[in-house]
Amino acid sequence: MDICEELRINGHQPMRGATDTELGAFFQAIVSQNTEAGFTIEESIPMLLSQAHAYGIICGKREERARKRKHI
């Protein structure tokens, strides 16, 4: 994987997770949970990224299932 290329491509994607969105609330919950467990925000970043990735996969699967149900 070419990290620089992935970052360049990602730079063209729309920003998600603003504080007033459902995804932003999800991010804040992860940070709050980790802070309560004694981790700094910086230490929470890998967990945040991992959980955000998993959340994206789950949301994608839900959308795909809903799309398939509509076409059946």
Contacts 24+ apart (CB under 8 A), 53-57: 55/23, 55/26
With beta carbons less than 8 A apart as the criterion, state whether 70 and 63 touch.
no
Go through the chain and tell me how many residues it has: 72
51, 32 Cβ separation under 8 angstroms = no
Q: Which two tokens stand for residue 37?
A: 């467990």
Question: In terms of pTM, does the model score above 0.75?
Answer: no
Q: Contact, 41 vs 31, CB < 8 A?
A: yes
pLDDT band for 62, please (50, 70, 90 cuts).
very high
* Contact present, 43 and 34 (Cβ < 8 Å): yes
Predicted pLDDT of residue 63: 92
